[in-house]
Amino acid sequence: MGPPPSASGRRDAQRNATRVLDAASTIVGRCGAKALTMDAVADQAGVGKGTVFRRFGNRAGLMAALVDHIERDLQERFMTGPPPLGPGAPPLDRLLAFGAARLEIVAAQGPLMIEIGDVGRRFDVPAHTLALTHVRLLLRALEVDGDVELLASALMAPLDPALVALQRERGMSLERLVAGWHDLVRRVVRVR
Amino acid sequence: MGPPPSASGRRDAQRNATRVLDAASTIVGRCGAKALTMDAVADQAGVGKGTVFRRFGNRAGLMAALVDHIERDLQERFMTGPPPLGPGAPPLDRLLAFGAARLEIVAAQGPLMIEIGDVGRRFDVPAHTLALTHVRLLLRALEVDGDVELLASALMAPLDPALVALQRERGMSLERLVAGWHDLVRRVVRVR
């Protein structure tokens, strides 16, 4: 065990970690999840391979951290970001913006989210639970009647990365998926 | 290679296979997917272990055949069975009956369906495609406006075995899930 890291040492480590995750995100967006290797990410981030291994352990650790990083970014946007996704816009606008933002992320990062997703557990992760709560609160703000917990779940279900990946493979555009989700929301909240 | 089996030999083999699959279904329903072993299923079906191995190869082969068996049974019921699930009932009644029947199967056989489900491919299997087509045709029969393909997909998504398993773990009853799906259908087709 070495001495505890200094405050500036911790800041450097945090900055490096963010740099590595941004680099990982770029690689996956450009070349797909399979192209994400420890070597490629160290190169892209301009840090030593040792830094990547020390921080993330192995490729699986890096991928899990990347998905967490992507989810946190969306969380910040819908919890504290600018409207219509963040607070300040009417609840229906926020709900419509949420699905569009999530579909955009899933369309770009879906293969990665699928690769790390544990089939039996993918609905039981903090990020999913937080998103579900967000949708439920918006439905309540809209004074939707009925079993709001299940309606929120029904609205989240079509945003599943594996489903979206297949729909995209079959030639459905992101625009069409967003329009379809928006139509679903309007039906569920019973507005035209 | 032996001589080709006689017609009565083939009938016996088919009867044995059905017996094994019914036994497998009973074991999973009673004791869960983990209890499904080649030994247990041979015992329960009252056939030799060799018969099970010859027909299904290994445990994975048996599980895949069992899910196929369960899906086919539902397919027969909604394609040619008695109303309201089968032909003859009004389309809305058929749609409501379909979700209830599928939720019942998923609630009973979910862990098995999850265990054999390939995470990235679970929406890309013939059984899922057939069910999706069925829902789409019923939505068309109901003269639902909009992107019927995506609406059908949105109605199928909450019937996902992994999602239903988690909801049941969290204490949601099958009755509640069925009522929630029925409410979703009524909103999607815009009836009260």
pLDDT tens digit sequence for A19-64: 999 999 888 878 878 888 999 999 999 999 999 999 988 888 888 8
Count, residues in chain A: 192
Chain A environment of B132 (Cβ under 8 Å): none
Give the Cα separation of B177 and B167 in Å (integer). 8
What pLDDT, on the 0 to 100 scale, is given for residue B119? 45
pLDDT in single tens digits along all 192 residues of chain B = 455 667 788 888 888 888 999 999 888 878 877 888 999 999 999 999 999 999 988 888 888 888 888 888 888 999 999 999 999 999 999 999 999 999 988 887 777 777 766 544 567 677 778 889 999 999 999 999 999 999 999 999 999 888 888 898 889 999 999 999 999 999 999 987
CA distance B185 to chain A (A): 9
What does the block give as tokens for A45?
Answer: 């981030």
Which residues are CB-contacts of B20 (< 8 A; sequence separation ≥ 6)?
B41, B42, B45, B47, B51, B52, B55, B56, B62
Chain B environment of A190 (Cβ under 8 Å): 187, 190
User: What value does the mean pLDDT take over residues A9-19?
Assistant: 85
Q: Which helix (H) or strand (E) holds A100?
A: helix A91-116
User: What value does the mean pLDDT take over residues A66-90?
Assistant: 90
Which residue in this structure is represented by tokens 């044995």? Answer: B16
Using an 8 Å Cβ cutoff, are B95 and B78 in contact?
no
Residues of A at the B interface, defined by Cβ within 8 angstroms: 111, 114-115, 117-124, 146-147, 150-151, 153-154, 157-158, 160, 162-163, 165-167, 172, 176-177, 179-181, 183-184, 187-188, 190
What does the block give as tokens for A88?
Answer: 């300040």
The closest CB to that of B163, out of A114, A157, A180, belongs to: A157
> Is residue A109 scored above 70 in pLDDT?
yes
Give the Cα separation of B83 and B40 in Å (integer). 36
The residue with greater pLDDT, A89 or B33, is: A89
- The Cα-based distances of A5 to A14, A47, A56 in angstroms read 12, 19, 18
What pLDDT, on the 0 to 100 scale, is given for residue A67? 82
CA distance B138 to chain A (A): 17
What does the block give as tokens for B179?
Answer: 């009522």
Task: Place A90 in a pLDDT band, splitting at 50, 70 and 90.
Answer: very high
Which residue in this structure is represented by tokens 């569009």? Answer: A100
The helix/strand/coil state of B89 is strand
Domains of chain A plus CATH, in order, are 1-57 (1.10.10), 59-188 (1.10.357.10)
Using an 8 Å Cβ cutoff, are A10 and A27 in contact?
no
A-interface mutation test, from B144, B145, B149, B163, most A Cβ less than 10 A away: B163
A150–B177 CB contact, under 8 Å? yes
Which residue in this structure is represented by tokens 């009252």? Answer: B46
Give the Cα separation of B136 and B148 in Å (integer). 6
The helix/strand/coil state of A160 is coil
What does the block give as tokens for A43?
Answer: 């190169």
The closest CB to that of B179, out of A147, A167, A188, belongs to: A147
The closest CB to that of B162, out of A111, A123, A190, belongs to: A123
B183–A150 CB contact, under 8 Å? yes
What does the block give as tokens for A94?
Answer: 């926020």
B163–A114 CB contact, under 8 Å? no
Give the Cα separation of A109 and A131 in Å (integer). 17
Taking CA atoms, what residue in A is nearest to B146?
A183
What pLDDT, on the 0 to 100 scale, is given for residue B1? 45
B154–A180 CB contact, under 8 Å? yes
Using an 8 Å Cβ cutoff, are A94 and A138 in contact?
yes
Chain A environment of B187 (Cβ under 8 Å): 187-188, 190
Which candidate, B111, B141, B143, places its Cα nearest to that of B33? B111
The closest CB to that of A184, out of B114, B154, B165, belongs to: B154
A146–B119 CB contact, under 8 Å? no
> Is residue A1 scored above 50 in pLDDT?
no
Residue B126: exposure state from Cβ atoms within 10 A (0-12, 13-18, ≥19): exposed
Using an 8 Å Cβ cutoff, are B185 and B144 in contact?
no
Look up residue A87 and give its DSSP letter. T
Chain A environment of B177 (Cβ under 8 Å): 150
- The Cα-based distances of B141 to A76, B82, B113 in angstroms read 43, 18, 30
Task: Check residue A171 and give left, alpha or beta (phi > 0: left; psi -120 to 50: alpha).
Answer: left
Judge if the upstream peptide bond of residue A84 is cis by omega within 30 degrees of 0. yes
At CB < 8 A and 24+ separation, what contacts does A129-134 make? A130/A75, A131/A74, A131/A75, A131/A78, A131/A98, A131/A102, A131/A156, A132/A156, A134/A78, A134/A79, A134/A98
The helix/strand/coil state of B87 is strand
* Sequence-ordered alpha helix ranges (H) in chain B: 7-31, 38-45, 49-56, 59-80, 91-116, 126-141, 148-156, 161-169, 174-188
